[in-house]
Amino acid sequence: MTYDYDLFVIGAGSGGLAASKRAASYGAKVAIAEYDLVGGTCVIRGCVPKKLMVYASHFPSLFESAAGYGWQVSDTDLEWEKFITSIDNEVRRLSALHINFLERAGVELIQSRASLIDEHTIQVDGREVTADKILIAVGGRPTKPDIPGIEQAITSNEIFHLKQQPKHIAILGAGYIGSEFACIMRGLGCEVTQIIRRDLILKGFDEDIRTGIQEGMINHGIRIIKNTEVTSVEKTSPGLELSLSGEQQEAVVADVFLVATGRVPNVDGLGLEKAKVDLVPSAVEGHGYGTTNAIIVNEYSQTNQPHIFAVGDVTDRINLTPVAIGEGRAFADSEYGDMKLVFSHENVATAVFTQPEAATVGFTEAQAKEKFGDDKIKIYRTRFRPMFYTLPQQEERTMMKLIVHGETDKVLGAHMVGDYAAEIMQGIAIAVKMGATKKDFDATVGIHPSAAEEFVTMR
């Protein structure tokens, strides 16, 4: 049978872009459909604009530090409209750049919604097209809890477009999205209240990361209400009134209410049932995601329909941009590059851009002890105030931790809370991925004076 395309990709986010360009480089005729800005969650409403906000939120602390070093720091003010507009301009610049990359790669971009009619047919832009293979890379979307008045709340999609800086923002959610925005908005000068259902934020991360970040957030003036749920939201003249139940029952009134209670695969309207693609309902939470209706795939990102594949957050494996890119490229290499590749989901490093920042790779302490036994695991940990904060006398703390298998001396996991944690952990992740031992770490000469040297001096 002759098809219109060798490959049709639904979704021009990180995974879809990587797969389409790689497949086209092997000579495949490829089209990609996207109804929103090209770039996906990461470029449009995730990693990129969020990190720009993280950078901006650090300046007040830096001004305070500068004064401790003798600099005369005058009054400072944030021009919110200029700030938000600059971020939006950068997002649109990057989106246009990705369109250019598609054109140069020979991938046809169809700026329209797409849905499946069967395992080889797609409805897009008011017509039907066929493809030998179809790749679904539509990512995920934020969800809201089903409580009265929830329509008054915003999600992480809308927070980048607030026309005015809120004086007080309330945040529901203990995952990395809620925690990151709590720190961002506090750093930008807002009063912040974060409401969480349990004692600690960041379920799924190592316990020392969870406690280290939470303590730091509280020290920075974020109010964290624990073991509490929001039962309703009402718009009143003073602001949005959140009724609470649990440990805290006094209502909270805020200008803006951000809901960050999880994300789900963005499968609605795809026509998966018409193509008979299997989904798996799930309530598993990890690293801030509550999931449902993920597309089932094998190690080659193949669904139960042999010609339909899926990568990225829609499969709910590891919901990170570099993972989606790796899955997309591995798919293209396997299907069009005459090489059968499996993307490894083991020892994937990740970071949480809170203040303090955190990064991690490999096993948590709890995971390692559960798999190998308490008596087989050695823990190396250090906690200190970095030199940078001595003159300003700021009470910032860094924590570093190694999880080591006692019998083999292999480093199973590494964790850090503190400045530049992501930058430092990227190098540590290489060592962990290669199977480095604690003796390898000990034999490495540290760079002095630096915080990173603590990873090779822990005894």
The CATH T-level fold of domain 150-261 is: FAD/NAD(P)-binding domain (3.50.50)
pLDDT at 223: 98
Judged against a pLDDT cut of 60, whether residue 346 lies above it is answered with yes
- Structural contact between residues 256 and 169, judged by C-beta atoms closer than 8 angstroms: yes
Arithmetic mean of pLDDT, 290-315 = 92
Question: Would you tell me which CATH number, out of the four given (3.30.390.30, 3.90.1300.10, 3.90.10.10, 3.40.50.300), belongs to the domain 356-456?
Answer: 3.30.390.30
pLDDT digits (tens, 9 = 90+) for 19-74: 999 999 999 999 999 999 999 999 999 999 999 999 999 999 999 999 999 999 98
- Name the more confident of 282 and 23: 23
Can you tell me which residue has the tokens 């990227």? 426
pLDDT at 85: 98
| 366-386 residues labelled b (16+ CB within 10 A) or e (exposed) | ebbbeebeeeebeebeeeeeb
The region of weakest confidence among 70-84, 214-228, 271-285, 345-359 is: 271-285
Which residue in 61, 64, 157 sits closest to 354, CA to CA? 61
Give the pLDDT band (50/70/90) at residue 296.
very high
Judged against a pLDDT cut of 50, whether residue 284 lies above it is answered with no
Please report, for the chain, the start and end positions of each structural domain, with discontinuous segments joined by +. 5-142+264-336, 150-261, 356-456
The region of weakest confidence among 68-77, 250-259, 442-451 is: 68-77
pLDDT digits (tens, 9 = 90+) for 98-128: 999 999 999 999 999 999 999 999 999 999 9
Residue type at position 137? A
CA distance 86 to 80: 10
pLDDT cut 90: percent of the chain above it: 96
Give the pLDDT band (50/70/90) at residue 290.
very low
Judged against a pLDDT cut of 70, whether residue 288 lies above it is answered with no
CA distance 331 to 145: 35
Choose, from 58, 98, 307, 448, the residue flagged as catalytic.
448
- Structural contact between residues 244 and 403, judged by C-beta atoms closer than 8 angstroms: no
Same CATH topology for 5-142+264-336 and 150-261? yes
Judged against a pLDDT cut of 50, whether residue 146 lies above it is answered with yes
pLDDT at 286: 41
- Structural contact between residues 365 and 403, judged by C-beta atoms closer than 8 angstroms: yes
Give the pLDDT band (50/70/90) at residue 4.
very high
The region of weakest confidence among 189-198, 252-261, 280-289 is: 280-289
CA distance 106 to 28: 9
Give the pLDDT band (50/70/90) at residue 282.
low
C-beta atoms surrounding 299 within 10 Å? 13
pLDDT cut 70: percent of the chain above it: 98
pLDDT at 75: 87
* Average pLDDT value for the chain: 96
Report CA-CA distances (Å) from 343 to 22, 83, 334, 414. 15, 38, 10, 22
Report CA-CA distances (Å) from 373 to 81, 269, 339, 360. 54, 46, 39, 21
Which residue in 301, 14, 271, 332 sits closest to 122, CA to CA? 271
- What CATH architecture does domain 5-142+264-336 belong to? 3-Layer(bba) Sandwich (3.50)
Judged against a pLDDT cut of 80, whether residue 292 lies above it is answered with no
Tell me, yes or no, if 287 is annotated catalytic: no
Arithmetic mean of pLDDT, 69-90 = 96
Ranges of H-type helices in 4-139: 14-25, 40-45, 47-57, 59-68, 80-105
pLDDT at 287: 37
CA distance 186 to 207: 24
Judged against a pLDDT cut of 80, whether residue 438 lies above it is answered with yes
pLDDT digits (tens, 9 = 90+) for 380-419: 999 999 999 999 999 999 999 999 999 999 999 999 999 9
DSSP state of 296: P
Give the pLDDT band (50/70/90) at residue 1.
confident
Arithmetic mean of pLDDT, 277-291 = 59
Residue type at position 93? R
CA distance 75 to 61: 13
Phi, psi of 90 (to 5 degrees): -70, -40
